[in-house]
Chain A
Amino acid sequence: MFTATVTLSLLAILFGLILGYAAVRFKIDSDPVVDQIDAILPQTQCGQCSYPGCHPYAEAISNGEADINRCPPGGEATIQALADLLGVDPKPLDPEAGEVKPEKLVAIIDEQTCIGCTLCIQACPVDAILGAAKQMHTIIESECTGCELCLPPCPVDCILMVPVKQSANHWKWPFPQPSAGLNEGGNL
């Protein structure tokens, strides 16, 4: 009886120490769920979800403050992925947040009109605008996320949103058009 008590107590102390050590040694600083949510979000940093960027939105979702359907750039695919991750039902996109754009856009600056005020540079969340005070600005197209945050500050309206140029390298095969005679859904 005594031996058993001592053994079990020692074991309990040992495991307690191991667990205590592990809790310190393998401490996770950030919430892994937040990072997982953040990984799904499209990182446009556009703020259409009403949070200042994708990571804050991810935090809000993880805290249960925000719904999963407030990301227009991600669209249906993002909502579906979030629903799968969090084990909730997917919902249609919240119209309050905005609409899904039919194609990906990037900003371009009409360099003739630009007065070099640097307001857009301050607005760009990903540092995709290059320029200096009273110097012409330009957008690094490959880095632009199409968030449109540079549009409102521009005092001369010289920023336009244009569709991303298609290159043959990045061209996608269209979904095969079901030809006549196919009974859609009949083969499921």
Chain B
Amino acid sequence: MNKINRKLWKYHGGLHLEEHKSISTGQQSALLPLPKRLTIPMQQHIGEAAHPIVDVGDKVLKGEMIAEASGKVSAPIHAPTSGTIVEIAALPVPHPSELNVLTIVLESDGQDQWCERYPIENYRHASSEQLRERIHDAGIVGLGGAGFPSYIKLNPGQHFAIETLILNGAECEPYITCDDQLMRERPEAILNGARIMRHALHAKRCIIAIEDNKPDAFSALNNALSQSGQNDIELVMVPTLYPTGGERQLIKVLTGKEPPSQGRTLDIGIICHNVATAAAVADAIIDGTPLISRIVTITGEAISTPQNIIAPVGAPIEELLDFAGRESGVNTQLIMGGPMMGVSLSNTNLPIVKTSNCFLLQPAEPTKPESPCIRCGECARVCPAELLPQQLYWHSRAKEFEKVQEYNLFDCIECGCCSWVCPSNIPLVHYYRFAKTEVWAQEREKEGANIARRRHEFRLERQEKVEREKAERMRKKKAMLKDKEGAKDDTAKKAAIQAAMDRAKAKREANQVDSTISASDSQPKSEL
């Protein structure tokens, strides 16, 4: 038994929420019947969108790469099943912007035929670089929701020694149970993934943290660990409190340490990955399988049998909702993610992406009217990042973006605790999200202006240089001409004069001869 009495710490704030988790964990996760048409967006991760490497009409096999990573912070995308590429176009994606993003549409041939896969026989003999390359090529991104390319988080660089690898199985948000279900059903994959990641990071120790409302998941992992005969991973039960699943909050609970404000967990020798990411890593290394499907929680009061579904990337949300059954005759609202941090989507005809952990279908409720802030301070009491949500709200509202940053807006994890407790129903997180994206836009504009300035200055410099060179050339040419003329003056002119004089002389002489001849000629004439 690996459960030890470990000292745990507490972070500031947090909320005890109604869990609503048991409604979707009653059954094994089901495999979604293969959809006919998969719409696979090129942007399923943080960073640059992937770049398609297939054309319309191409036949692809399951697991074949259809889009390559463009740039460092990017991830390739693979065909979730075998079939034909029928369209490459900008289509709507599950994103709060509801903008269109370049998408590859794959029509399944129903064969589900795998391409050749190349597992790594023994990861213990592989180098960190090899493992990272394989994880990159498998298109693995953080499956906890953020979608940051995982290979980067396995490359701490030489300056950082990694003390602890934490696998986050806290899953603290209400309703969501996909990680719970995965831990129950595939504990070996998670443990193997943990070992591979630890090997790649050379981490001294590895902890898997699970909230104590998931005893089944804990015992499944614990059994798998004792069966594996290795005692290299520590399983830790952490108290259920929202948002313990936040990276910083979990680190605080487990180690008592806090990463610096706006710094990285790397700075204190810790790397955090989601348990589902670990399972995907194990699949990529041990089976050679890229990330092409995931487990998604379909739940909510408007779903008849809430459950977890294993669905290929690109499957329409509609099909998952229909699979789980929708309550008829209810006006519903679709939320992507959980009730605290999720965003509502107005369109259900969107695809599942790598980061889709949960879809929540709730009966539509009118939004509660917003009232003025009464400065009660509840928000500051619950804020797990120890910020001052009221101040952030005032300044975001007044669009004072420098001030919001002074109040550490970017340490806000958007957990939604402040909005939840606000007696005035102020959508506080919405204000913070607005302010964050505005600040980023301003930074981009500033960057753009700096580039424009540099280009303009360079242009002016170049024009000046061209002018200068032209003037220089003119000057040189003039000088050369003058030189030439001078030279002519000296020699050519003299030569010309000399030549002219010679010519004149020759002429004169010729004339003299001529005249004598003519004289001798003329004499008889004159005699005539």
Contacts and interface: CB of A to CB of B under 8 A. Distances in A.
Interface of A: 38, 41-45, 53-55, 125-128, 143, 145, 166-176, 178-183, 186-187
17 contacts: A38-B453, A41-B449, A43-B450, A43-B452, A53-B460, A125-B456, A143-B451, A168-B43, A168-B101, A169-B49, A171-B437, A172-B437, A173-B436, A173-B437, A176-B431, A183-B372, A187-B372
Interface string B456-478: 11111000000000000000000
A154 B43 CA distance: 38
A176 B93 contact: no
Interface of B: 43, 49, 93, 95-97, 99, 101, 367-373, 427, 430-431, 433-434, 436-438, 440-441, 444-445, 448-453, 455-460
Given A170-B440, A182-B371, 12 more contacts: A43-B453, A126-B455, A127-B458, A170-B444, A171-B96, A171-B437, A172-B437, A172-B441, A173-B437, A179-B369, A181-B370, A183-B372
A45 B453 CA distance: 8
Nearest to B432: A173
A63 B448 CA distance: 27
Contacts of A42: 445, 449
A172 B372 contact: no
B96 A173 contact: yes
B441 A180 contact: no
A126 B371 CA distance: 49
B343 to A, nearest CB: 10
B459 A125 contact: yes
A52 to B, nearest CB: 10
Contacts of A181: 369-371
Interface of B is mostly: helix
B332 to A, nearest CB: 20
B438 A172 contact: yes
Interface of A is mostly: loop
B97 A168 contact: yes
Nearest to B90: A165
A126 B459 contact: yes
Q: Which of A41, A175, A176 has the most CB of B within 10 A?
A: A176
B453 A176 contact: no
Given A126-B456, A127-B458, A168-B43, A175 B369 contact: no
Contacts of B433: 173
A23 B430 CA distance: 52
Nearest to A38: B453
A149 B98 CA distance: 34
A32 to B, nearest CB: 16
Given A128-B455, A168-B43, A173-B430, A182 B372 contact: yes
Contacts of A168: 43, 93, 95, 97, 99, 101
